[in-house]
Amino acid sequence: MAQPAKGKEPASDSIMSPGEMKPLLALSKREPVHCAIGLTADGEGVILLDKKKKAKKVLADLKSAAGKAKITLQPSTLRFGKAEVDTEYDAGMVRFFVNKDPPGNMRVKLLEVIKKVPYQKVEINIDLSFEEESEDDEQQGQEASASAPAAGAAASAPPPPPGAPPPMQAKAPPDPNALKATLAQLMAAIPKVANGDATMQDALVRLATLADGSLKGTDLEKAAADIDALRRALATAMEQAKLNAQVGAGGGTVTYAKSRLAWLAARKKVESDIETLRQRIIETFKDDAIAPQLETSYKTKVAPVLATLDESLADTLDEATNATDPAKRAELVKSAKGIMQKYAQYLTSEPLIKDLDENPFVPLSIRATVGGTISTLSKAIA
């Protein structure tokens, strides 16, 4: 990192000092805070956190703060999303979830900032949903409250006469014709999205078959849920394909860095799928006395999945990216290949993976996600 001139405050401190950042990261242990991150023209990492404003507004504030401090930012490196310290995951790590794939050196540069707080690790994950987030923040709610009558005025006015609550309107059932049309469109997209990947195509076809069966059985609510599962699986497959397509570009350390991000994205998808299933199971049995026991049993049963499909591959690829000794790098690459073989073997031999994918609540695509990513990375890493 370029060193600031003598007597000049580091760019990161000009945007948000460690003293300002520390309480917000402490708060993030209970609930994630919004963030914006980036690199300066000199290659310094900068971070801005906020507990109320939406992520896009925090990014606007980051740009404004940089302008006032006469700091030049690299526009292509700017990202926005959320930051958290998950004590159950790693109490010494700050995890960022941002809208786009970050530059390869972003994590190292942000770590230099985070160590001042101090935390010892940084992880950057991609969450494309932030792209759809509006720029409005919670201040709108405060403005709305300010425009309402004062509390005293409201108290002095006579209360309205009590009346009967409005009648509950029954939720209209899904339109079977619309569901059929949507399913047909999604099924037509499967070959293009799978792009010759047999594992991915099988997983998507399975989801489509389940939705079709629900439609034919006139279970419209389940059909709508199954179609939504297929839609999400297609969207995830498309995003994964984009990321995987980038992995082979550049070669050497560039490929290792991109491969690391591809694996973290795939693992995050599996983690999200497992959590979605947990929520669906709990929702289904929420009125049942065994609901707490079900949740505990579920967590215990699926814990080995994420424990086995861990982040050791990402850590090894990170070390390979930063290794300067060719012999050491070759050793790390060999180790990464061994880890991928372990993942692949677990994927095909563990019955629980199949059970999770084919569960009756919300069909998942763990085998397609992990298998497709491992296949791509195995070809790219040399």
**182 in the same domain as 97:** no
Tokens 């309480």 identify what position? 23
DSSP 126: E
Give the H or E element holding residue 38.
strand 33-39
**180 in the same domain as 124:** no
Say whether 236 sits in a helix, a strand or coil: helix
Query: Is-cis flag, bond preceding 176, omega within 30?
Result: no
What pLDDT was estimated at residue 237? 76
> Would you say residue 3 lies in a domain?
no
> Would you say residue 336 lies in a domain?
yes
Last residue of a domain, one of 74, 106, 132: 132
**197 in the same domain as 52:** no
Strand partners, 124: 96
Q: What is the CA radius of gyration of the chain?
A: 24
**193 in the same domain as 115:** no
**276 in the same domain as 207:** yes
For residue 30, what is the domain's CATH number? 3.50.20
> Would you say residue 141 lies in a domain?
no
> Would you say residue 253 lies in a domain?
yes
What pLDDT was estimated at residue 363? 79
**114 in the same domain as 194:** no
Per-residue pLDDT of the chain (382 residues; tens, 9 = 90+): 444 544 567 889 999 999 999 999 999 999 999 999 999 998 999 999 999 999 999 999 999 999 999 999 999 999 999 999 988 888 889 999 998 888 878 898 999 999 999 899 999 888 877 877 766 544 444 444 444 444 344 444 455 455 444 554 555 677 888 888 889 989 998 988 888 878 778 888 888 898 898 888 878 888 888 888 888 788 877 776 766 666 655 557 888 888 898 899 889 889 988 988 888 888 888 888 887 888 888 888 899 999 999 999 999 999 999 999 999 999 999 999 999 999 999 999 999 998 998 888 887 889 888 988 898 888 888 6
What pLDDT was estimated at residue 311? 93
Rounded to two decimals, what is the model's pTM?
Answer: 0.49
> Would you say residue 350 lies in a domain?
yes
> Which domain covers residue 198, as residue numbers?
176-380
Cβ partners under 8 Å of residue 174, min gap 6:
220, 221, 223, 224
**210 in the same domain as 125:** no
**180 in the same domain as 82:** no
Say whether 212 sits in a helix, a strand or coil: helix
Number of domains in the chain: 2
One-character DSSP codes across 97-156: EESSPPPTTHHHHHHHHHTTTT-SEEEEEE-GGGGG--S--THHHHHHHHHSPPHHHHHH
What pLDDT was estimated at residue 359? 85
Please state, in angstroms and rounded to a whole number, the distance separating the CA atoms of residues 230 and 292.
Answer: 29
**110 in the same domain as 184:** no
Strand partners, 50: 34
Say whether 358 sits in a helix, a strand or coil: coil
Say whether 148 sits in a helix, a strand or coil: coil
> Would you say residue 147 lies in a domain?
no
Last residue of a domain, one of 103, 132, 161: 132
What pLDDT was estimated at residue 245? 66
CB 293 within 8 A of CB 276: no
Beta strands 33-39 and 79-84, pairing class: antiparallel
> Would you say residue 357 lies in a domain?
yes
CB 135 within 8 A of CB 54: yes
**236 in the same domain as 126:** no
**370 in the same domain as 235:** yes
What pLDDT was estimated at residue 141? 41
**195 in the same domain as 50:** no
Last residue of a domain, one of 132, 152, 187: 132
